[in-house]
Amino acid sequence: MLKQLTRFFVLFSAVAFYPYRSIAQGNALDEVMLESGKFNVVFTVVVVLIVVLLVYLILLDRRLRKLEQQEKIQK
């Protein structure tokens, strides 16, 4: 599970900071999104969705692990 979380963090970091690279290059669309505040909203929504998905997967993993342990005890 720790390997999966590490991979997720690395991937998320790469995706999260990619837009800042294009801003440094002077992309007009990025400048408009930043000036109007839309970029912050989109970024926040994406982060919230990823966090919720991650929490859901962790809880699901715990439930499955618990069911597998119960199954082993019954056999």
Residues 31 and 23: beta-carbon distance below 8 Å:
yes
Q: Would you state the pLDDT for residue 17?
A: 63
Q: Report residue 30 as tokens.
A: 């990025």
Q: Number of structural domains, the chain?
A: 1
pLDDT tens for each residue of 17-68: 665 555 555 667 667 767 787 777 888 898 899 999 999 999 999 999 999 9
pTM strictly above 0.75 = no
Instruction: Supply the range of the domain harboring residue 27.
Output: 2-74
Task: Give the number of C-alpha atoms closer than 13 A to the C-alpha of residue 16, restricted to the C-beta side.
Answer: 16
